[in-house]
Each structure stands twice: as C-alpha cells, then as structure tokens.
Amino acid sequence: MSAALATLGGASAGEWEFGGEVAGEVRYFPQSAQFPDQFDDWQPSGTLQADLRWKSDDGKHQIVVVPFGRLDAQDDNRTHADLREGYYRYVSNSDWTLLIGAAKVFWGTVESRHLVDVINQTDGVEDIDEEDKLGQPMVKLSLLKGWGQLDLFVLPGFRTRTFPGPEGRLRFALPIDTDNPIFERNARRGAVDYAARYSNFFGNWDVGVSAFHGTSREPRFTIAPTGAALLPVYDRITQGSLDVQYTAGAWLWKGEAIVRGGQGKTFFAGVAGFEYTVYQIFDKPWDLGLLAEYLYDGRDDGFVLETFGLTSAAPFTAFQNDVFTGARLAFNDTQDTSMLAGVSVDVDDSSLSMFVEAERRLGQNWRAELESRLFFNVDPANLAASVRNDDFLTFRLTRYF
C-alpha cells in the first residue's frame, strides 16, 4: 500500500471530495423477548459514515476512504466501527486496474439470497438480511478485455462475522462468543484467501463464473465448554459459483449456484427465479416488479459438540427448500419513493417470514426509511425458531452531506 501511494508523487494534483451521512434509527419489537438478558421494546441507535475520495487530474490514481460507526443504546455488540472501504486504485491507459486496500465487492443477481457473494464478511449486527458487509483487505487486479472481464483477488486479513450480544434481539438461544473463534484444520485468522471471477455479456445474457479458496465467511458453531455460549468455527473451503441473468423485454430471469467443499460433504446450492416489470400501472409513472424465486441447499448441517478435534460439518441454513415471492414498486417521482415487499415460505414445514421496506427522499439532503420484518407459523425445528418473537419495525432518518 505504501509503495502504491508513493507513486502519487508524480501524479497531477487532483482534488479531494468529502461527503457522508449521519442517521438516527429506532427499532421497535412489539413482542417480549424470548431469552434471558434480551431487552424489550425499543432499540434506538445512530450511525455516522464519511466518504473521502481523491482522483488525480489524469484519472489514473484514486483514493477512497469510507469509515463507518454505530452507537446502539441496547446491544453492546452493535456499537461498533469499521473501515468499509479504504483503498488506492490505479487505472492504466490500456485495459487493467489495480486496487490495494480494504474494499467491498458484490457478486450476485437474485433478490432473496446472495449465494455467490463470498468476498466480504457479513456485518451481522446491522441486520438479519446479511446485506451489510465489512470491508475486506485485498489486492485486486482487473483485466478488461474484448473477451470479458477477469478479476483476480489476494485476500489477506480474515474478518470474523459480527453477531448480536447477549442483550441483543435476533440471536440464537445461546449468545455467540465472538472473542473466541475457532479456526479448523488449515484455517487461521492470518491465512491468505484467493479468488477469481470472469464476467461478460453474451447478447441478452449476463454471466459470471467465480472460484474461491480460503476461510469460509459463513461459520458453523460449537457449544463452549461453559455451556453458556456458542463458539463460531471457521473452515477452509473451496467454492465454485455461477451467476446468470437473462433479459427479455420486461422479464429478468436470474440464477445463482454454488458447489462448496470443506464443510462436511461437498454440496450444491442454488437460487433461480424471475422479475417481471409492469410499467406505468394505473396510468401513473409507477413501475411494479413482480418477483418469484426458488431456493435449494443440499448441505448436511448441524451443531458440532466437540470443542477440539471438531468433525467437519456445514453451517446451519434456513434455505434448504424454500419459495420467495415479492414485489418492487418504484414511483419514479422526484423524491425517489420506492417500496419492496417479500415473503419466504419453507416448503418442508410451512414456516414463513415477511419483510416490507419503503423509502423516500425529503428535500435535497434527507431520506426517510421504514422497514418491517415478521415471522409466522415458525416450526420449532426451523432455524427461525430462535427469532420467532423478534418481529420488528424500524424507522431511519438520514442526513447526507
């Protein structure tokens, strides 16, 4: 990183741009907590995220710094800070770029579950939907050719997943001890991971093929010797993946699939579905997207009870055999008003979860958001049984600067 920054001495001056956002948020849980030590009712918090960017006049050199922090009144684990992005990027005159530092990389096409998105660790204290990610240290070389784009990654500095604390909601019956992770077999915190991705457009097809070898971002769990907590266990895995999207007029056909080895038996998982958009409904400028997806996961999962000499197993998942349906409404107004709602149903036991999200810009610098997540008819054996009392409503007000 220091060597890369030293090259800036010969770069043209460029200019710095500074922005960011500050937000106030309150969550309300209408039902009493299911487990001891958990709080009831209200969970206020606030976030601050800065965005500092520099680009040389010739456009070859770029610096991005995006720190993030949250202060939470109820859950100590949710009070945290992270460098979401902090990198230097060099853009050549020809067909390659080099990025060094912490960054976020997204892979995927479907709505309900991002199977192929393995570069960044999930920031699990932020929300239950696994959309928020921690910054990942990396060296990324991107080759832009006529035959497509090839991204090569070297990923040092493994990040452990964050989880709610003992007093937090949306957690397992036993809290997770994030201070004492276990790295199984060849996995260790300092191990270097490697990844590669090829992507290209073929007519109406958008195709991505990826490979990853390293420490899994998705831990399994063992019970701590005290019996009072769970310990996350991180395995060394090898994973191949495919994501595709086919565009046909108002139809988007989407799919993601993985094959993973290193966590019990090698297994296959996939998500496939579509989004169909109805334009200008009710003779308004509104666009309505209708979504449907099927989720399958063939892993053998379960708790591993030994603390040492652990038998390999795959992490728990709630998506072995599920159907997701949803709708996305864009009002296409000057306030960027939009809504998204979805329902997931477990085909095996009929457990159901539902979410609704809505947002609207207020003036030039403010945005208001509402989010609700509900759980219905949850089978006691379903992974969601630990959060069946954790229906919640979130209101968030953000000021951009």
CA distance 273 to 257: 12
Kindly state the DSSP code that residue 268 receives in the 8-state scheme: E
* Residue that has been written with the tokens 């990853």 in this structure: 212
CA distance 170 to 384: 9
Beta strands in 104-185 (DSSP E): 136-145, 148-155, 182-183
- Domain extents for the chain? 19-400
The three-state secondary structure class of 147 is: coil
The amino acid that residue 110 corresponds to is V
CA distance 155 to 162: 19
Confidence at residue 12, expressed as pLDDT on a 0 to 100 scale: 57
Beta strands in 216-303 (DSSP E): 220-223, 230-234, 236-248, 251-261, 267-279, 287-297
| pLDDT digit string (tens) for the chain, length 401 residues | 554 545 554 555 788 999 999 999 999 999 999 999 999 999 999 999 999 999 999 999 999 999 999 999 999 999 999 999 999 999 998 899 999 999 999 999 999 999 999 999 999 999 999 999 999 999 999 999 999 999 999 999 999 999 999 999 999 999 999 999 999 866 667 789 999 999 999 999 999 999 999 999 999 999 999 999 999 999 999 999 999 999 999 999 999 999 999 998 999 999 999 999 999 999 999 999 999 999 999 998 654 444 444 456 789 899 999 999 999 999 999 999 999 999 999 999 999 999 999 999 999 999 999 999 999 999 999 999 999 999 999 999 999 99
Strands 230-234 and 182-183: parallel
Confidence at residue 184, expressed as pLDDT on a 0 to 100 scale: 81
CA distance 144 to 210: 16
112 φψ region: left (φ > 0), alpha (ψ -120 to 50), beta (else): alpha
Confidence at residue 306, expressed as pLDDT on a 0 to 100 scale: 43
The three-state secondary structure class of 290 is: strand
Statement: the pTM of the whole predicted model exceeds 0.85: yes
> 3.30.1180.10, 3.40.1650.10, 2.40.160.100, 3.30.750.24: which CATH number matches 19-400?
2.40.160.100
CA distance 345 to 204: 31
Q: What is the CA radius of gyration of the chain?
A: 22
